[in-house]
Amino acid sequence: MAYDALRTPDERFENLPGFPYAPHYLKNMPGYEGLRMAYIDEGPKDAPVFLCLHGEPSWSYLYRKMIPVFLDAGARVVAPDLFGFGRSDKLKTQEEYSYSFHRRSLLELIKQLDLTDITLVCQDWGGVLGLTLPMEEPERCKRLLVMNTALPMEPESSIVAADLERPADERQTGFGRWQAISQRTDDMPVGHILNMGSGQMLTEGEIAAYDAPFPDKSYKAAAIVFPLLVPFSEKQDGYAVGRKALAFWNGWQGESFMAIGAADPVLGEKPMRRLQAEIKGCPEPMVIKEAGHFVQEWGEEIARAALRSFGGV
């Protein structure tokens, strides 16, 4: 299948504050012919891997405060940009994106790079997708660092699914309201959203870095459609695999660490503690009261706390 895609000019990514890492690329992955996926790959190639998965509408830049901590500890860090984000190619139409489209690409990345001894680091869509990956080849994943994200959990998922059937201005759940807001424009203000979701702590340079992948609205199909793809009901792509993943985490034998941005109005402390209960052996979470949805902006302290919990790399 040939995809009609855009590629953000390289000069958009020059002089990114706090992010000196050169991109690597996977090209023409099976099922993604003609497309190029970008990823950061730093540290010793034979070291344990911290696989950092971003969500929406961010990119691997979100991990700029965590990557140095992992590298200083002796780890290898791999941080891909999902198709439609960061330095990766961007399909022009929303209809070409799906849950399975993104999930398969991450499985292929793990396979092509032959990643093992993985610590899965995930948040937002990085978890909605990423938490379903280890069950495919459990021997590859050893540890989990999870932040503000979700899987299909009942009855919560059905409650949100019912809310999404209401008119946009009558929605009652946090996600229902966010989805309505996200669909009011075809030119999502990405940097503004990241700043608001980070407690308005970003500098102008950091806001510009989050905007960098999107020269204009034609590059934003993935960012705009993602809120429509979160699987809350059985009829949606990804719901069944998410439920299967819950069963996997119910029997998890590896280590885990959870950090919660408690100021997140959608995926704050209550839903994250619900997820904690589904991850066997997950210890008491690190709760950062002032942190919002994009909790990686507090990433240095989270990364250090996770490494202490794990006893190092």
Q: Encode pLDDT of 296-306 as tens digits.
A: 999 999 999 99
Q: Please, where are the H alpha helices in the chain? A: 67-72, 99-113, 125-130, 156-163, 174-182, 190-196, 204-211, 221-229, 239-250, 269-278, 299-310
Is residue 192 annotated as part of the catalytic site, yes or no? no
Return the pLDDT at 186: 85
Return the pLDDT at 1: 64
Is residue 264 annotated as part of the catalytic site, yes or no? yes
Is the pLDDT at 36 greater than 80, yes or no? yes
What secondary structure does DSSP assign to 244-287, as a single string?
HHHHHHHT--SEEEEEEETT-SSSSHHHHHHHHHHSTT----EE
The whole-number average pLDDT for the span 214-241 is 97
Is residue 293 annotated as part of the catalytic site, yes or no? yes
Catalytic pick from 81, 89, 163, 264?
A: 264
Whether the CB-CB separation of 74 and 313 falls below 8 Å is answered with: yes
Q: Encode pLDDT of 222-231 as tens digits.
A: 999 999 999 9
Cis? peptide before 215, omega within 30° of 0: no
Q: Encode pLDDT of 242-290 as tens digits.
A: 999 999 999 999 999 999 999 999 999 999 999 999 999 999 999 999 9
What secondary structure does DSSP assign to 159-182, as a single string?
HHHHHTTS-GGG--SHHHHHHHHH
Whether the CB-CB separation of 8 and 212 falls below 8 Å is answered with: yes
Catalytic pick from 81, 89, 124, 163?
A: 124
Classify burial at 49, counting beta carbons within 10 Å of its beta carbon; exposed 0-12, middle 13-18, buried 19 or more. buried
Cis? peptide before 57, omega within 30° of 0: yes
CA atoms within 13 A on the CB side of 307: 21
Q: What is the pTM of this model?
A: 0.97
CATH of domain 5-310: 3.40.50.1820
The whole-number average pLDDT for the span 198-220 is 97
- CA distances from residue 235 to 96, 240, 263 in whole angstroms, order as listed: 18, 9, 31
Domain ranges in the chain?
Answer: 5-310
